[in-house]
Amino acid sequence: MEKEKKVTRAAITKTPNIEKERIDFKKLILKNPNYFNTFPELKIKPVTPMKSNTKYEELTCIGFYPETDLLEAIIQIKLPYGYNGDLCSAGSFEYVRFFIDWNGNGNFEASEDAGIASVNVHDIPDSGYTCLDKTKPISYALTLKIDSKKKPCTLPNLVKVRAILSWNLPPPTGNPDFTPPWGNIVEKWIQIKPVKLLLKDVIKAVELEKLKLTPAMLDLDIEVTKAPKLSVTELKKLYAGENIPEHRFNIEEISQSAEKIKQNPALMVQYKLNPSLSQFIESVEAVLAEKPNVKFEELRCVGLNYDLDTLVATLVVKLPCGYSGGLCTQGSYEYVAFWAYVYDQIEQMCYWRYLGTSSVNVHDIKNLPKDGLQYAVSLPYDFSNYKNKCSKPKVLKIRAILSWNTPPPTSNPNYSPVWGNTVDALIQLKPLSVDQDQQVPFISVVGGMAVESISGNTLSVVPSSLGDGYANGPSVYGGFSALESPFGGVIAICGHISNPPNDPAPAGKLKYKVQFKKTGQPNWQDITNTFKIWISQWNGLFWSMSSQNQIATGGYYTYEEDLTPPNQRFVEGDVLAQWHTPVAEGDGLYEIRMLLYKPGAPAAPGVPADHVASNIVKVRVDNTRPNAAVSLDIGPCAKITIGETITGTFTATDPHIANYSISIEPATANPPTFLTPSPESYPAMPAPGRTDWPFEIQTTAATTPCGYVIKVHVWDRAIINNSRPGNYNSASVGLCLLETKK
């Protein structure tokens, strides 16, 4: 990627029609946090009240993929300016925070904050592209991995989701009523996948012992029962009186007959001469009409997850029945085929290129919400051959075709589904310095954070005041937010190799290694531990999922992705290696790279012969627990009389301090209460935290006499095992609170 350039305010203001409230947005909020009346609880007079302005960006759709618990939001960037600079600058960020009404009370509460996701956006000009009749809006997908609360298939789990889009200002944690100045709010219903009954749920250890079996001898994660597939006869009976046409529940047979009639139109004459076939003819004619029907489902939005190179489409299921059975059956599938409108250098023309097909399982669900249920499908794709450097943005037109229970053909971008519809959208590809047709490794995510969000790297757009290797902002899957965060524990290293071979034999698969070294040291070390990956496979009709161990042979792992249709293999999460820290060199700044074994590769400085190196990513490693201590002024295990004030000091420090809290255990009916201090957190509390900091606890006549423990809890800001909170430590001191003597 080309070197990032700084964009001055003067350069931005040269663009017409950009409001001061847009150009100086952060400056105005820093001066007056309630400038736009965004935080009325501050009781500060607003200057220019503004809420949910969608001139520049708008959240248009929400979708959910139940199989992997991925929540998706599609946003549209509407204008070529107003995003703080072009693609070679840091640009700005669009944030989406999700809330899920888990308890179903109709209200979104602070505890129902599911997490935040973000995407880096820029000024993308309206000229300089081929194969486009328009250049806006550009659609992006923001993805959040949630921890869903599953129920049995007999209890459909429908929950309402609120998504808040906010430009350049992350929606506050735990505030579902936040209204953004720039952005908007969308609420929709989703369906959580039922819990699976596994073998380990029904077979107890004692029963295995009776059978003289060990857990290692059985796959205890296998499902106990398989959901039944309803026959056409069963469906006809199930939908009696439900106004479900036959060419809905018998689509496969009707479609086959329609194809035969296309080949031999004389068959239609024979059918029409038979009065008993009137309903059958009606169904066949509906299929032959090639007029998309969106009565049951409709494709709404299409976008690109910018960081993961993954296409996302959202659709709505509109009716409570007509999907081949309830949640305890196999149901049916909504298929979405993706196409890109690209330029053929040889033929000198634009054409639709098939990219792949994805699907989501749907069912009959009674008590469907008025606006239906929102689903999502996604398709990872290697766009390396279409990407440019940041000085030449790349915008592509994408076509998505939704077809219920029958995959769209892979050879017809103009296919009209019987049940479904087509949506075209524009996406913008992330710049990458990879030449077309070459195989080049690339590290995109470390510890759950996009490389752009880690300071000190070539692609960094979020700086750090602390130096190199610190993460800031939402994680790629939105499960947490980093704040000047180092990394620790098991660190997932994720990315791709461009243009992997199509359907290679095992011996023909690419080999790679992932290496690390502490900054300033000369030698790279291989990561060689064994780890598990999950592989999803698409054969053009069906998805399947399997797992396997990645074993380093001679320091090399095998690259398992195959992105070329029709048989595609995707490594979930794009995991390349799992780096187990701490390492012998201890905490500090490290560099990570990936090497692709490629005989005959051009020589490069610092790269072994016959290898191609990826980008180098700097990360700060911190596996050291915070310091925690607490003491009473009158000494440990003291006897105190009710009515006295308890005093003492505590220490809560760490170079990367996040926060601390103090608690009193056990939780009696009327425990002592803290007078000081209140819990503090970074950055309001500066690093390294508090040393010998005083506390004061009050007891009254109502306080319950008991033996109590005062405990201090301390966390740092490290991303441990690809998540937050960070490293933790605690300390405690005991006391005995006696009754007042009579």
In single-letter form, the type of residue at position 275 comes to P
Q: Which two tokens stand for residue 532?
A: 């598990």
The Cα 672–Cα 691 span in angstroms is 23
- The percent helix, strand, coil of the chain (3-state, each to 5) is 10, 40, 50
Please give the share of the chain, as a percent, with pLDDT higher than 70: 92
Pairing of strands 449-450, 511-518: unpaired
Whether 396 and 487 map to the same domain: the answer is: no
- Between residues 264 and 126, which one has the greater pLDDT? 126
Question: What pLDDT score was predicted for residue 1?
Answer: 44
Residue 499 pLDDT greater than 90, yes or no: no
The Cα 638–Cα 734 span in angstroms is 7
pLDDT, mean over the chain? 90
| pLDDT average, residue stretch 573-596 | 96
pLDDT tier for residue 221 given thresholds of 50, 70 and 90: low
Q: Which residues of 61-82 are buried (b: 16+ CB within 10 A; e: fewer)?
A: bbbbbbeeebbbbbbbbebbbb
Which helix (DSSP H) or strand (DSSP E) does residue 425 occupy?
strand 422-429
Neighbour-count burial of 409, counting CB atoms closer than 10 A to its CB (0-12 exposed, 13-18 middle, 19+ buried): middle
Whether 317 and 397 map to the same domain: the answer is: yes
Whether 61 and 79 map to the same domain: the answer is: yes
Whether 282 and 299 map to the same domain: the answer is: no
Residue 546 in domain: yes
C-alpha dihedral, 86 to 87 to 90 to 94, nearest 10°: 90
Residue 220 in domain: no
Neighbour-count burial of 119, counting CB atoms closer than 10 A to its CB (0-12 exposed, 13-18 middle, 19+ buried): buried
The Cα 81–Cα 57 span in angstroms is 11
| pLDDT average, residue stretch 266-287 | 74
Question: What pLDDT score was predicted for residue 219?
Answer: 56
Residue 216 in domain: no
| pLDDT average, residue stretch 15-37 | 91
Residue 436 in domain: no
Say if CB 427 and CB 340 are below 8 A apart.
no
Q: Computed from CA positions of residues 378, 379, 380, 381, in that sequence, does the dihedral angle turn out positive or negative?
A: negative
pLDDT tier for residue 206 given thresholds of 50, 70 and 90: low
pLDDT in tens, 463-473: 899 999 999 99
Please give the share of the chain, as a percent, with pLDDT higher than 90: 69
* Nearest Cα to Cα of residue 725 among 434, 528, 489, 441: 489
Whether 304 and 418 map to the same domain: the answer is: yes
Whether 262 and 336 map to the same domain: the answer is: no
Question: What pLDDT score was predicted for residue 216?
Answer: 58
- Between residues 200 and 321, which one has the greater pLDDT? 321
Q: How many CB atoms lie within 10 A of CB 433?
A: 15
**What's phi and psi for 738, nearest 5 deg?**
-95, 155
Say if CB 724 and CB 482 are below 8 A apart.
yes
Sequence-ordered list of residues with C-beta below 8 angstroms from that of 132, at least 6 positions apart, any chain = 341, 395, 397, 426
Cα distances from 13 to residues 7, 9, 22, 88, 167, in angstroms, run 11, 6, 10, 18, 18
Sequence-ordered list of residues with C-beta below 8 angstroms from that of 25, at least 6 positions apart, any chain = 167, 168, 169, 181, 182
Query: Last residue of a domain, which of 602, 621, 640?
Result: 621
Whether 492 and 507 map to the same domain: the answer is: yes
The Cα 398–Cα 74 span in angstroms is 14
| pLDDT average, residue stretch 132-149 | 94
| pLDDT average, residue stretch 61-89 | 96
In single-letter form, the type of residue at position 90 comes to A
> Helix (H, G, I), strand (E, B), or coil: what is residue 740?
coil
Question: What pLDDT score was predicted for residue 241?
Answer: 87
Q: Which two tokens stand for residue 369?
A: 């919400």
Pairing of strands 349-362, 332-344: antiparallel
Neighbour-count burial of 8, counting CB atoms closer than 10 A to its CB (0-12 exposed, 13-18 middle, 19+ buried): exposed
Q: CATH code at 710?
A: 2.60.40.10
Sequence-ordered list of residues with C-beta below 8 angstroms from that of 714, at least 6 positions apart, any chain = 626, 627, 628, 652, 653, 654, 657, 659, 660, 689, 728, 729, 730
The Cα 449–Cα 219 span in angstroms is 33
Alpha-helix residue ranges (DSSP H) falling in 129-250: 199-202, 205-210, 232-238, 246-249
| pLDDT average, residue stretch 523-540 | 92
Q: How many CB atoms lie within 10 A of CB 414?
A: 10
- Between residues 426 and 2, which one has the greater pLDDT? 426
> Helix (H, G, I), strand (E, B), or coil: what is residue 471?
strand
Q: Which two tokens stand for residue 271?
A: 């059918």
Residue 398 in domain: yes
Query: Last residue of a domain, which of 365, 400, 429?
Result: 429
Whether 111 and 27 map to the same domain: the answer is: yes
The Cα 430–Cα 100 span in angstroms is 30
Q: Computed from CA positions of residues 224, 225, 227, 229, in that sequence, does the dihedral angle turn out positive or negative?
A: positive
Whether 473 and 585 map to the same domain: the answer is: yes
pLDDT in tens, 563-576: 888 888 999 989 99
Question: What pLDDT score was predicted for residue 368?
Answer: 95
Residue 84 in domain: yes
Say if CB 220 and CB 175 are below 8 A apart.
no
* Nearest Cα to Cα of residue 305 among 80, 119, 163, 71: 119
Pairing of strands 638-641, 728-738: parallel
Whether 24 and 129 map to the same domain: the answer is: yes
Say if CB 568 and CB 538 are below 8 A apart.
yes
Question: What pLDDT score was predicted for residue 742?
Answer: 40
Residue 204 in domain: no
Residue 741 pLDDT greater than 60, yes or no: no
The residue whose two tokens read 């993961």 is 308
The Cα 707–Cα 639 span in angstroms is 9
| pLDDT average, residue stretch 622-645 | 92
The Cα 355–Cα 302 span in angstroms is 14
Question: What pLDDT score was predicted for residue 282?
Answer: 75
The residue whose two tokens read 């708008």 is 58
Q: Which two tokens stand for residue 397?
A: 């037109």
The Cα 318–Cα 321 span in angstroms is 9
| pLDDT average, residue stretch 214-234 | 71
pLDDT tier for residue 198 given thresholds of 50, 70 and 90: low
Angle at 333 between CA 190 and CA 423, to 5 degrees: 75
| pLDDT average, residue stretch 355-368 | 94
Q: What is the DSSP letter of 456?
A: T
In single-letter form, the type of residue at position 458 comes to T
**Enclosing domain of residue 280:** 232-288
Give the distance from CA 434 to its chain's centroid. 25
pLDDT in tens, 520-530: 999 999 999 99
Pairing of strands 728-738, 310-317: unpaired
The Cα 364–Cα 1 span in angstroms is 48
The Cα 286–Cα 254 span in angstroms is 10
**Across 273-393, where does the E strand assignment appear?**
297-305, 310-317, 332-344, 349-362, 373-380
Residue 435 pLDDT greater than 70, yes or no: no
Q: Name the domain count of the chain.
A: 4
Whether 69 and 163 map to the same domain: the answer is: yes
Sequence-ordered list of residues with C-beta below 8 angstroms from that of 595, at least 6 positions apart, any chain = 441, 512, 513, 514, 515, 607, 608, 611, 612, 613, 614
Residue 213 in domain: no
- Between residues 4 and 396, which one has the greater pLDDT? 396
The Cα 594–Cα 589 span in angstroms is 17
- Between residues 187 and 252, which one has the greater pLDDT? 187
Helix 278-288 / helix 251-263 crossing angle, nearest 10 deg: 80
The residue whose two tokens read 């010998």 is 692
What is the pTM assigned to this prediction?
A: 0.81
Whether 383 and 447 map to the same domain: the answer is: no
The Cα 147–Cα 153 span in angstroms is 18
Query: Last residue of a domain, which of 583, 605, 621?
Result: 621
